[in-house]
Amino acid sequence: MQDTFSRCNPIVNLIFYLGAIIFGMIFMHPLCLMAAAVTSITYYIYLKRIGGLKVLLGLAPVFIIISAINPLFNTRGETLLFSIGTRPYTLEALIYGVAVATMFICVILWFFTYNIVITSDKLTYLFGNVTPSLSVVFTMVLRLLPSYKRKLAAISNARKCIGKYGENGGTKDRIKNGTTVVSTLTSWALENSIVTADSMKSRGYGSSKRSNFVIYRFTSRDIWILVLMIICIVTISFCGIKGGMSYTFIPDIDFATNKFTVVGVLFYFIFLSLPIIIDVTEDVVWHFLKSRI
Amino acid sequence: MQEKSVEKNKNIIRDTIKLLIVFFVMPLTIFFTWKYAGNKYYLTSLILIIFAVVPFFLRFEKRKPEAREMVTLAVICAIAVISRVAFSMVPHFKPMAAIIMISGIAFGGEAGFLVGAISAFVSNFVFMQGPWTPWQMFAYGIGGLLAGVLAKVKIMKVDKPLRTAILGGVLIIAVVGPLLDTCSLFTMGIEINKSSIATTYLAGLPLNAVHAVATLATLLLIGKPMTEKLYRIQRKYGIMREE
């Protein structure tokens, strides 16, 4: 599987996710929610294929619970469905719950794909120049994790020789075992850290401006996508400020429907579809290139 | 002499900016997000958290830390994150907060905050990034910071392991846990009123209690040796000293 959107410049990826997540949290107009739901689900399924469907099914209970819970806390609304004790359970509150749940699931799905698209090396590329020291620390932590995992296994194995299995005994013994292992790891790691630091220093760390690991270029495609995204963001924000996306759920349901709604939702949909459009275009192009051979 | 007065001026400027942010920028943020984005609790709180977290990061950058300091910081963060693995045979046992607090006690509040924030961020690369990431960074950072502050006023002490451990547990159940619960309250987007607030915190209480007990146990068992190890590195190599 080839995800072309992931191979765009990280700046493009970051701006897309900032837009998708922030707009996703602000706009609760039903058309916006529909646009977000359709695009986030499509993109997630595109990336994960069949395995993604299982995760989506797993999210269904979350959706139902959040929808159903809201009317329990929110008793306003005009249409009474039934009452629990003295507390009314209203249709408006339930619909608001469904909207909130949709928003929540969409944001979670955007984060699911975010975790696939924006990898740690992209983050260091993005923030390496703004926060040089922190991104070194961040990179080092990521590098140390697997190494410490191995060391932990080594320490536990050594302790097995003296009969201190990790799984032995009750909870108390296990916790004690765990703390000893962590303590041992700490001694070793701290001593090692000084060696690493001295080695860094003797190789000239800090003597000049740090350069970053960069394998990303700004291609003309990135520029086009970026321009398109900025046009979308400006239009959506403008329509939002003009009231095109305004909504009220409680006490009665009312949505804006004017020219700003149409334009705003259209651009919102285009913006959110960008990754899918890019991926599918590339797939189609490849298909034709292959069939020509 | 002149350098001192320049330093003094810098401090005055810094304090003014701090006050401006607290009394001017933060209320303005709340006002504008309320007015133009509806009652979006999560977005508003996110912006406020960014205002709270960024100064710590900027201060660290400004200081141009030595290689030794940075590697030590990275090592402690990595231990805090990986410590979860060492306790994988004990269900629901999360020792990360305890290690963050130990680093706060040994190296001061600022380092504690950095360790907390970075560990929370990196551990989400192992689990999953989500809307909770900034809140977790903030909550664990505050945990480390408070441990550092309490150690500075000599309330949390190495030679008083029981008191330190209990205070650590209290910090989790009273500060870190509720902060994380607030995040779930805001991200779920349900109506905020007395009953929903009460339900969220009550529902979070059992999990927070388990977390607090884990922190207490870790601090009790490991607090003294770990802090001494950190002190030793600090004295031997002259790093991570608070000015």
How do residues A261-281 score in pLDDT, each as one tens digit? 889 999 999 999 999 999 999
Q: Which residues of B touch A66 (CB under 8 A)?
A: 188-190
Task: Read off the tokens for A214.
Answer: 């960069």
Look up the ipTM and state it. Answer: 0.85
Are B87 and A175 within 8 A, CB to CB? Answer: yes
**pLDDT (0 to 100) of residue B1:** 47
Q: With 0-12 CB in 10 A as exposed, 13-18 as middle and 19+ as buried, what is A56?
A: middle
- Please tell me the least confidently modeled range out of A63-67, A93-97, B6-10, B151-155: B6-10
At a CB cut-off of 8 Å and minimum separation 6, what does B95 contact?
A178, A179, A182, B83, B84, B86, B87, B214, B215, B218, B222
**pLDDT (0 to 100) of residue B39:** 61
Q: Which of A120, A136, A187 minimises the CB distance to B229?
A: A187
Helix (H, G, I), strand (E, B) or coil at A84: strand
Helix (H, G, I), strand (E, B) or coil at A81: strand
- Cα angle A114, A118, A120 (rounded to 5 degrees) comes to 130
**pLDDT (0 to 100) of residue B126:** 82
Q: Which residues of A touch B229 (CB under 8 A)?
A: 183, 186-187, 190
State residue A113 phi and psi, 5-degree precision.
-70, -30
**Residue pair B172/B205 in contact by the 8 Å Cβ criterion:** no
**Residue pair A84/A72 in contact by the 8 Å Cβ criterion:** yes
Q: Is B129 on the interface with A (CB under 8 A)?
A: yes
Helix axes A50-73, A91-117, angle to 10 degrees: 140
Residue A251 has pLDDT above 90, yes or no: no
Q: Which residue of A has its CA nearest to B193?
A: A73
**Residue pair B148/B108 in contact by the 8 Å Cβ criterion:** yes
**pLDDT (0 to 100) of residue B196:** 82
**Residue pair A156/A166 in contact by the 8 Å Cβ criterion:** yes
Task: Read off the tokens for A167.
Answer: 């799984």
**pLDDT (0 to 100) of residue A126:** 87
CB contact residues (below 8 A), chain B span 76-105, against chain A: 77-79, 81-83, 85-87, 89-90, 93, 95, 99
Q: What percentage of chain A carries pLDDT values higher than 70?
A: 98
At a CB cut-off of 8 Å and minimum separation 6, what does A180 contact?
A159, A164
- Cα angle A87, A90, A91 (rounded to 5 degrees) comes to 165
Find where tokens 């209320």 sit: B27
Residue A168 has pLDDT above 70, yes or no: no
Helix (H, G, I), strand (E, B) or coil at A47: helix
User: Where do the domains of chain A lie?
Assistant: 5-118+257-292, 124-202
Confidence class of residue A166 from pLDDT cuts 50, 70 and 90? Answer: low
**pLDDT (0 to 100) of residue A270:** 94
Q: Which of A22, A73, A185 minimises the CB distance to B195?
A: A73
Residue A144 has pLDDT above 90, yes or no: yes
Regions of chain B where pLDDT drops below 70: 1-8, 10, 33-39, 241-243
Confidence class of residue A78 from pLDDT cuts 50, 70 and 90? Answer: confident
Of residues A292 and A51, the one with the higher pLDDT is A51
User: Where do the domains of chain B lie?
Assistant: 66-237
If one looks up domain B66-237 in CATH, what number appears?
A: 1.10.1760.20
Tell me which residue of B7, B11, B44, B41 sits closest to B28, measured CA to CA: B44
Q: What is the mean pLDDT of chain A?
A: 87
Helix H or strand E segment including A254: strand A254-255
